[in-house]
Amino acid sequence: MSAVTEHTDHGTEAHDHADHGSHPTTLTFVKVAIILAVITALETSTYWWVEDAHTVAMITLFICMAIKFVMILLWFMHLKWDSKLFSLMFYIGVGLAIAVYIVALMTFHFFA
Amino acid sequence: MLAHLPRRRAAAALAILGFLVAGCAKNAPQDIFRPAGSNAREIDDGLGGQKYIFILAGVVAAIVIAVVLFIIFKFKDRGQDIPEQTHGNPMLEIGMTILPAIILITVAIPTVAKIFNLAKSDDAACVVNVTGQQWWWEYDYPVQNCGGIEITQPIVTSGEMVIPAGVNVQLRITSRDVIHSYWIPRLNGKRDAVPGSLQPLRMQADQPGIYTGQCTEFCGLSHARMRQAVVALDSDSFATWVANQEEAYTSPTDALALEGEGQFISQCARCHQINGLTNSDGTPVLANPEQNLVSGAAPNLTNLMTRTGFAGFTFDLITDACREKLWNAPSEEFSALYLQGVWMDSPAGAEYPVCFNETALREWLRNAPGMKPMFVDPNNLSSTGGLYRGMPNLGLTEAQIDQLIAYLLERK
Amino acid sequence: MADIAVHEGAHAHEHDAHGAHATSTGLSNNKLAMWLFLGTECLLFGGLISTYMLYRGRLGNGPGPGQVFDIPLTSISSFILLMSSLTMVLAVNAAKEGDDRNTRVWLSATALLGALFVGGQVYEFTAFYQEGLGFTTSLFGSSFFTLTGFHGVHVSLGIIMLMALVGIITRSKVPGDKAEVVELIGLYWHFVDVVWVVIFTLVYLIPA
Amino acid sequence: MAIIERPSAVPTFAGAGANAPAVVTPTQGLGVFKRPVAASGWKSWVFTVDHKKLGIMYGVVSMFFFLVGGVEALLIRLQLAAPDNTVLSAQVYNEMFTMHATTMVFLFVMPMAAAFANYFLPLQIGARDVAFPRINALGFWLFLFGGIFINTSWVLGGAADGGWFMYSPNSSPLFSPGHGVDFWVLGLQITGIASLVGAINLIVTVLNMRAPGMKLMHMPMFTWMVLVVQFLLAFAMPVITVALFLLGFERNFGATFFNVDAGADPLLWQHLFWIFGHPEVYIIILPSFGIISEVLPVFARKPLFGYKFVVFSGAGIGFLGWGVWAHHMFASGLGPVSVAVFSVATMLIAIPTGVKIVNWTLTLWGGKLWFTTAMKFAIGVIVLFTIGGVTGVTHAVAPSDTQQTDTYHIVGHFHFVIVGGAVMGLFAGLYYWWPKMFGKTLNEKLGGWNFWLMFWGISITFGAMHIVGMQGQPRRMVVWPEKLTGEGFFNLHFWNQVATWGAFTIAVGVAFFIVNVVVTARKKERAPLDPWDARTLEWITASPPKEHNFDVIPTVHALDEFFHRKYEEVEHEDGHVKLMKVKTAEEILAEEEARADAHIHLPSPSYWPIVLAFGLPIIAYGVIYNLILSFVGAAIVLLAGFGWALEPSVAEDSDYDPPAGGDSTKELATIG
Ligand code: HEA
Ligand code: HEA
Ligand code: CUA
Ligand SMILES: [Cu+2]
């Protein structure tokens, strides 16, 4: 909750469009999309070499998933430039979901 | 009204302390503060035990109430000035945060130890499978050496679980339909019977005696009438009990009972198993409850008369007076009395058992769902595909009931 | 369903100066609400994904993931959904520049890609069904269809919103800040994409 | 009613300003319908988006459901008053406690808290309305329709009978045929949407709509606790939504999520339910914590002790509340590791809660206590909640809980915290805020009866439950048998009867409240503007507040802003500095009115929220009876959605002239 506090003092002066200058251009977005596409291709490829390298594939997949997840959030969804408060709202949700459901699955000995 | 305030609060405080002493009712068979076995004692005793935590809770509540009472009295509006606008005192706050934390540590550590102690399962000398279904418990004893006594053929019984006293018995609890919960307050805490999984629970009773309990997970219509008991017998009596359960079946000689056998085969055997029962052509009579009941099981009636209660231990097979006598028997006498069952108090060679509660059993056979609500209306079984949940009203005539009672009386 | 502050008219940026947007944090109510909503959606999809993870190996008599999944096909539709995020971003950009025509073009493109994705899903579902995996076949089936179905419904709702938005923009009927409306729907759309990123990996690619 | 022109003759104070004449602006929403414009009559309520009207409607409806749930409780107690009693059949009894709990939790406590939150949160932070007024209206109608929908099951073949946590597989179609559970699932789904949208709305409101200078750490404690609750709601509702969907699919579309024969794990339901269910219990209690944190300082004439600690402990409770759900499952066989972890985690919650208790008592310490009814209720909460809280700690000790769980000891615990904590707190709020809401003070004498009967009724009823619980009487039993009664002082028979008498005592107490409301409504005398010498912003405006809340949005300089405007340190002749009242509320209001904003933009009424909400129960009936109906419902929802999206939140400002060159910060048009 404490992270919210810092915003209060700003009153009305802080707002969305604060930094027009650093706004991404179309090109940035296209680049991001290309990276995402490449990662997806890499992910998909694990499907074929997965038999021989199970663990490696798993790790790769998780890393790829995380990168894609974060990239979409930061660039496409603008979190990189937007208010931290937006990030906070979303990350509370993601964080809680991950924590709570992993613990729940653990009680089913899911990871054992 | 305000003048009475402190006195009323004091009364409240007293009432609360009253709860703490509540643990000592006479004869309340399910009192959670009267452990009668090692597991229940583990729960009850010591730091992190039930007694300690209840007293601790009482003390904390009493302190808070006392402080509030004091404040109410001390600081009430007597026309004083607006008080100083104090905003807080961080040190005090931190202190009052740490204090409960310390108290809780004294509870938490032993609690964790107790949890692991209670979960141990390698010290059992006997195993009983406990299966819940709507709305009764089945016990089956696999072939084993149970605390020194050989069980040579599987025993299946219901309602009362008979165990040797002083022996660690490992229950393996499961269910055939919905979730139930097995609870014998004086011997151990509850454990849910979850369909599709086996839950371990240890039972040990120091002394011979009967320890009653109740299904404690809501399991539908007759949850309130799903009861159970653990009967601990001394070692010899337990051996006798086992031998009796394993005795081979003999057809009755008495004419009425023999007719009862016929009735049983035609009316009851589709659900109830009686081990060793054969048709006139010598083929065994096998129940097929799975074609009649949702849970796929009905109580095994081979030795019905060795029990003291029936239909989920809700109704008594023995009369009230005999039950009181049995339940209150000193532990040295208990085992022998229990083995007599309905024949308790009957003179040797008597025709008819004095303690037999015929009224209840007759009523059951006349109209079971009238005594215990069950899901057995034949017109209303579409959701189960025609299967019953419980024992239906079979529309027996009084004559048929006479025969059946005579027959069942032989199942001892 | 976000409520839109009407006061802006078409020229949101010009208004910035006089603090018509005077919220305590200076942030738009609508965007804050949307982000919060997306946060709560995480717990929704988290629950569905966990259910699936728990049940994915429980096949009953039905086929398992290995038998029914068609990874090449699904990766194509994943790629399509990913690209729809790009077109969405471009729509948002266009809207911010007040370029109605391009906004509409990109929004329509996004809706189209989304529809392709949903079409792929429908195709996939029918294929699974023919291979013997129905909604009630097994726990795997139930939880798989529930999870991907929920996602599909989210995408479909997104498509409806996108198309409605195109229509509304054409008729210039946007109540409030047009660029922000586009942005809000964009956030929703990207989130749905993010969820698919997780589903694609956890459900399709990780070997059961 | 897009714009409220400030009436030329400014009414001075004391509530008279409530009905400032409104300039009405009919404009067209979807090109077909005109917007509703009625300023009085039933239409002004049905289509309203005013947070105060919605708050009152929330309150009235939840009070009604309180009586429904209460009568259900009384029937339960009648049945249990004697062994082997026959007041209710087993089936009806099972429906009764299921619906009692469902009604009380989802249709009384939660919406009652929403009533206060709606009414007072904007007032406390100095806003003209919530961030999304139409969504606010939607929330109310969803709650009302959802509540009615669930309760129609009583006459449509029987209500749900699986207990309020509806454990699977007992809730599956095989074991619970009939439509009761379907009504329950779908009804909760509908009220769940209400909670979710309400939560998002209020969070945005708190974060974004505060008056100038109102920092987070200047917010009244009620606002803070409501904020925490809304976060809990926002993140907990989706979890129960998932659970309800799975169960609904199982019941209606042949899925097998909890069917053991298909290999399912019935514990999945328990986890999903309690991941929601435990945060839910803090959702129930925290609003009341907020209320008494307002009431205690006011009547102790001191600021809340340790404001920051109370804020953070509230947030801490909210946070920890996510990590303890499995303490409801100690008997279900999780294995010792999980049990140990959840056991210890649960104990931790006693710490932040203790912080609150300590701070409340220290707020009273050294105060000048004024025992109004509201104050009595608030002190009652401290006492009764503590009793309930410490029994909660006895459950947290897992081995001990395996003896207590599913007995009346648990029932005692949660009624102490819920009825003694949450409900008493809500009553404190009613007595405290009544003059603000209706301009009249509730009768103190009747209030005294109300309080004492409830206080003792609660202690007796639920105290007795602890006793029978310790004798091993399980809960959810339609009958308890004579032969287990036991002898001596602590026999079940006596204490069950005591509990029943206690319940009727509570009922009489509640009846006094109803009498009090009627008596108060009929009396002429109006309450003074600031009857309690209060401290927070809602008291700065008229009683009841004007439609636009504040004539001019107050600028906040401190916690307890209103108090600081009234009181100043004055130096006496003898050199003593003394806190003195330098201004009355009337004077402050007059000042505000004198410099009131000329143009105030308020959100306009709308048809769409009620129409959209109406579609959902139709969908739900359709799921149960005929899917065609569902499509009709869905069409209504979709259409209403379009109408909504196309309708500006504030009606077009045809007659609205921005103040030429004026101070634009006064255009509070940002109320979306
Ligand atoms: C308003 C709702 C509310 C609140 C606030 C609480 C608060 C708590 N509850 Fe309760 N609970 C319920 C509502 C609530 N509960 C309900 C409805 C159920 C049953 C659901 C069902 O089965 O139907 C339940 C059931 C329940 C169980 C499961 C029991 C079972 O079924 O076996 C447990 C187990 O741990 C538990 C624990 C706690 C604890 C530790 C707290 C703590 O938050 C309490 C903390 C407060 C204090 C401890 C008092 C003040 C503190 C001090 C004065 C400091 C010093 C104290 C110490 C050092 C001890 N609760
Ligand atoms: C917000 C939650 C809440 C509230 C306020 C209450 C309030 C009360 N509850 Fe309830 N209760 C629960 C939540 C709540 N309960 C839950 C969650 C369960 C568990 C259910 C389950 O196991 O599934 C439960 C279960 C429960 C049981 C256990 C049933 C069982 O296990 O078999 C009992 C038994 O006595 C009970 C009693 C009461 C009583 C006497 C009140 C009283 O405080 C009620 C007081 C109110 C009134 C009495 C209304 C006043 C009415 C009038 C003034 C009208 C007078 C008019 C006429 C008489 C016509 N409740
Ligand atoms: Cu079986 Cu309750
Ligand atoms: Cu809990």
- Asked if residue C200 belongs to a domain, the reply is yes
CA distance A106 to chain C (A): 10
Q: Is B155 found in the same domain as B73?
A: no
Using CA atoms, how far apart are residues B133 and B374, in angstroms rounded to an integer?
A: 12
Mean pLDDT of D408-421: 96
Name the closest ligand to CA D276.
Answer: 4
Q: Is A100 found in the same domain as A53?
A: no
- Asked if residue A3 belongs to a domain, the reply is no
Order of strands across the sheet with B199-203? Answer: B155-158, B136-141, B126-133, B169-175, B199-203
- Rounded to whole angstroms, what are the CA distances from C189 to A67, C118, D102, D638? 18, 13, 36, 19
pLDDT above 90 coverage of chain B, percent: 76
Q: Is the Cβ of A104 closer than 8 Å to some Cβ of chain C? A: yes
**pLDDT, position A48:** 79
Determine whether the shortest distance from the Cβ of D74 to ligand 2 is under 6 A: yes
**pLDDT, position D144:** 97
**pLDDT, position B6:** 52
**pLDDT, position D155:** 95
Q: Would the pLDDT of D591 be above 80?
A: yes
Q: Which residues does C151 contact at the CB level (< 8 Å), separation at least 6? A: C45, C192, C195, C196, C199
pLDDT confidence tier of residue D20, bands split at 50, 70 and 90: very low
- Asked if residue D619 belongs to a domain, the reply is no
> Tens digits of per-residue pLDDT, D41-63?
788 888 888 999 999 999 999 99
Tokens describing residue D516 = 């009090």
Q: Which residues does B299 contact at the CB level (< 8 Å), separation at least 6? A: B136, B138, B158, B159, B272, B310
**pLDDT, position C77:** 93
Q: Would the pLDDT of D19 be above 50?
A: no
- Asked if residue D612 belongs to a domain, the reply is no
Q: What one-letter code names the amino acid at D617?
A: P
- Rounded to whole angstroms, what are the CA distances from A58 to A44, A62, A94, B341? 12, 6, 21, 64
**pLDDT, position B122:** 84
pLDDT confidence tier of residue D351, bands split at 50, 70 and 90: very high
Tokens describing residue C182 = 């586009």
Q: Is A63 found in the same domain as A27?
A: yes
Q: Which of B224, B246, B268 is the last residue of a domain?
A: B246
Q: Is B364 found in the same domain as B274?
A: yes
CATH of the domain at C63: 1.20.120.80
Q: Would the pLDDT of D652 be above 60?
A: no
Spatial contact of C90 and A29, defined as CB atoms under 8 Å apart: yes
- Asked if residue A2 belongs to a domain, the reply is no
- Asked if residue B20 belongs to a domain, the reply is no
User: Which letter does DSSP use for residue B159 in this model?
Assistant: S
Q: Is residue B254 classed as helix, strand or coil in its secondary structure?
A: coil
Q: What one-letter code names the amino acid at B10?
A: A
- Asked if residue C159 belongs to a domain, the reply is yes
pLDDT confidence tier of residue B350, bands split at 50, 70 and 90: confident
Mean pLDDT of D510-515: 97
Contact list, A49 vs chain C (CB under 8 Å): none
Question: Average pLDDT of chain C?
Answer: 85
Beta bridge partners of D599: D5
Phi-psi map region of B282: left, alpha, beta (phi>0 left; psi -120 to 50 alpha): left
Spatial contact of D298 and D432, defined as CB atoms under 8 Å apart: yes
CA of residue D264 to ligand 1 center, whole Å = 30
- Asked if residue D96 belongs to a domain, the reply is yes
Mean pLDDT of D386-393: 96
pLDDT confidence tier of residue D649, bands split at 50, 70 and 90: low
Number of domains in chain B: 3
> Tens digits of per-residue pLDDT, B244-288?
999 999 888 889 999 999 999 999 999 999 999 999 888 999 999
The torsion angles phi and psi of D486, rounded to 5 degrees, stand at 80, 170
How many C-beta atoms surround the C-beta of residue D9 within 10 A?
5
DSSP calls for D212-273: TT--GGGS-HHHHHHHHHHHHHHHHHHHHHHHHHHHHHHHHH---TT-GGGT--THHHHHHH
Q: Would the pLDDT of D479 be above 70?
A: yes
What is the extent of the structural domain holding C142? 28-205
Using CA atoms, how far apart are residues B33 and B50, in angstroms rounded to an integer?
A: 8
Q: Is B74 found in the same domain as B157?
A: no
User: Which letter does DSSP use for residue B221 in this model?
Assistant: T
Determine whether the shortest distance from the Cβ of B177 to ligand 3 is under 6 A: no
Q: Which of D209, D246, D667 sits opposite C24 (nearest CB)?
A: D209
Number of domains in chain D: 1
Number of domains in chain C: 1
Q: Would the pLDDT of D17 be above 80?
A: no
- Asked if residue D41 belongs to a domain, the reply is yes
Mean pLDDT of B182-194: 96
Q: Is A87 found in the same domain as A67?
A: no
Tokens describing residue B355 = 């303690």
Q: Is B103 found in the same domain as B82?
A: yes
Spatial contact of D615 and D57, defined as CB atoms under 8 Å apart: no
Q: Is A65 found in the same domain as A102?
A: no
Burial environment of residue D306 by CB neighbours within 10 A (0 to 12, 13 to 18, 19 or more): buried
**pLDDT, position D329:** 96
Q: Is A110 found in the same domain as A94?
A: yes
DSSP calls for D353-394: HHHHHHHHHHHHTTS-B---HHHHHHHHHHHHHHHHHHHHHH
Q: Is A94 found in the same domain as A68?
A: no
What is the extent of the structural domain holding D431? 2-9+35-481+490-552+587-606+647-667
**pLDDT, position B44:** 93
Contact flag A93-C206 (C-beta cutoff 8 Å): no
Q: Which of residues 46-85 of C touch A (CB under 8 A)?
A: 46-47, 49-50, 53-54, 71-72, 75, 78-79, 82-83, 85
Q: Which of B217, B246, B275 is the last residue of a domain?
A: B246
Spatial contact of D615 and D621, defined as CB atoms under 8 Å apart: no
pLDDT confidence tier of residue A20, bands split at 50, 70 and 90: very low
Mean pLDDT of C41-68: 92
Spatial contact of B153 and B137, defined as CB atoms under 8 Å apart: no
CATH of the domain at B64: 1.10.287
D155-192 per-residue burial string, b: 16 or more CB within 10 A, e: under 16: ebebbbbbbbbbbbbbbbbbbbbbbbbbbbbbbbbbbb
- Asked if residue C23 belongs to a domain, the reply is no
**pLDDT, position D491:** 87
Q: Is residue D570 classed as helix, strand or coil in its secondary structure?
A: strand
Burial environment of residue A112 by CB neighbours within 10 A (0 to 12, 13 to 18, 19 or more): exposed
Q: Would the pLDDT of D651 be above 90?
A: no
- Asked if residue C175 belongs to a domain, the reply is yes
Using CA atoms, how far apart are residues B187 and B32, in angstroms rounded to an integer?
A: 9
Q: Which of B189, B224, B246 is the last residue of a domain?
A: B246
B343 upstream amide cis, omega within 30 of 0: no
Tokens describing residue D532 = 């309690």
CA of residue D401 to ligand 1 center, whole Å = 12
- Asked if residue B403 belongs to a domain, the reply is yes
How many C-beta atoms surround the C-beta of residue D30 within 10 A?
18
- Asked if residue C124 belongs to a domain, the reply is yes
- Asked if residue A6 belongs to a domain, the reply is no
Contact list, D652 vs chain C (CB under 8 Å): 6
Q: Is B313 found in the same domain as B289?
A: yes
pLDDT above 70 coverage of chain D, percent: 91
> Tens digits of per-residue pLDDT, D22-41?
444 444 444 445 666 666 77
Using CA atoms, how far apart are residues B344 and B323, in angstroms rounded to an integer?
A: 10
> Tens digits of per-residue pLDDT, C1-40?
333 333 333 333 333 333 334 688 888 899 999 999 999 9
Q: Is the Cβ of C93 closer than 8 Å to some Cβ of chain A? A: yes
Tokens describing residue B202 = 């240890």
For β-strands B169-175 and B126-133, DSSP reports them as: parallel
Q: Would the pLDDT of D626 be above 50?
A: yes
A24 upstream amide cis, omega within 30 of 0: no
pLDDT confidence tier of residue B219, bands split at 50, 70 and 90: very high
Q: Is B268 found in the same domain as B397?
A: yes
Q: Is B368 found in the same domain as B395?
A: yes
Q: Would the pLDDT of A2 be above 70?
A: no
D330 → chain A, closest CA residue: A107
Q: Is B402 found in the same domain as B259?
A: yes
C31 → chain D, closest CA residue: D204
- Number of A:D CB contacts under 8 A? 41
Q: Would the pLDDT of C171 be above 60?
A: yes
Q: Is A72 found in the same domain as A56?
A: yes
Burial environment of residue B4 by CB neighbours within 10 A (0 to 12, 13 to 18, 19 or more): exposed
Strands (E), C34-152: none
Determine whether the shortest distance from the Cβ of D73 to ligand 2 is under 6 A: yes
Mean pLDDT of D389-396: 95
Q: Which of residues 164-193 of C touch D (CB under 8 A)?
A: 164, 168, 173, 175-176
- CA torsion sign for B320, B322, B325, B330 is negative
In Å, how far from its chain's centre is CA C137?
A: 28
pLDDT confidence tier of residue D600, bands split at 50, 70 and 90: confident
Q: Which of D109, D281, D310 has most ligand 1 atoms within 8 Å of its beta carbon, as the pocket-test mutant?
A: D281
Q: Is B94 found in the same domain as B50?
A: yes
- Asked if residue D18 belongs to a domain, the reply is no
- Asked if residue B110 belongs to a domain, the reply is yes
Q: Would the pLDDT of D13 be above 60?
A: no
**pLDDT, position C173:** 65
Mean pLDDT of D634-645: 90
Question: Average pLDDT of chain B?
Answer: 90
The torsion angles phi and psi of B96, rounded to 5 degrees, stand at -75, -10
The H-assigned helical ranges of B227-372 are 235-246, 255-263, 320-327, 331-340, 358-371
What is the extent of the structural domain holding B85? 30-118
- Asked if residue D557 belongs to a domain, the reply is no
Q: How far apart are the first and last CA of chain B?
A: 68
User: Which letter does DSSP use for residue D303 in this model?
Assistant: P
Q: Is residue A86 classed as helix, strand or coil in its secondary structure?
A: helix
Element (H, E) at B268: none
Higher pLDDT, D612 or D490: D612
Number of domains in chain A: 2
Mean pLDDT of D229-257: 95
- Asked if residue A7 belongs to a domain, the reply is no
Q: Would the pLDDT of B142 be above 90?
A: yes
Q: Is residue D630 classed as helix, strand or coil in its secondary structure?
A: helix
Pick from B36, B370, B78: nearest CA to B203: B36
Using CA atoms, how far apart are residues C4 and C165, in angstroms rounded to an integer?
A: 14
Tokens 């998932």 — which residue?
D242
Structure pTM?
0.93
In Å, how far from its chain's centre is CA D595?
A: 35
Q: Would the pLDDT of B102 be above 80?
A: yes
**pLDDT, position B12:** 57
Spatial contact of B199 and B212, defined as CB atoms under 8 Å apart: no
Higher pLDDT, C70 or D183: D183
CA distance A37 to chain C (A): 7
Q: Is A67 found in the same domain as A38?
A: yes
Mean pLDDT of B289-318: 94
pLDDT confidence tier of residue B27, bands split at 50, 70 and 90: low
Mean pLDDT of D165-175: 93
Q: Which residues does A77 contact at the CB level (< 8 Å), separation at least 6? A: C186, C187, C190, C191
Give the range among D195-209, D463-477, D540-554 with minimum mean pLDDT. D540-554
- Asked if residue B327 belongs to a domain, the reply is no
Q: Is A92 found in the same domain as A55?
A: no
> Tens digits of per-residue pLDDT, B48-58?
899 999 999 99
Q: Which of D102, D325, D353, D475 has most ligand 1 atoms within 8 Å of its beta carbon, as the pocket-test mutant?
A: D353
CATH of the domain at B309: 2.60.40.420
Contact list, C48 vs chain D (CB under 8 Å): 242
Q: Which of A6, A13, A15 to mutate to test the interface with C (most CBs of C within 10 A)?
A: A15
Beta bridge partners of D23: D3
Q: Is B366 found in the same domain as B403?
A: yes
Chains C and A touch (3+ CB pairs under 8 A): yes
pLDDT confidence tier of residue D240, bands split at 50, 70 and 90: very high
Q: Would the pLDDT of B119 be above 60?
A: yes
**pLDDT, position C24:** 83
Q: What angle do CA D384, D388, D389 make, to 5 degrees?
A: 110
CATH of the domain at D232: 1.20.210.10
What is the extent of the structural domain holding A99? 82-112
pLDDT confidence tier of residue B2, bands split at 50, 70 and 90: very low
Contact list, C207 vs chain A (CB under 8 Å): 50, 54, 57
- Asked if residue A34 belongs to a domain, the reply is yes
Name the closest ligand to CA D279.
Answer: 4
**pLDDT, position C207:** 67
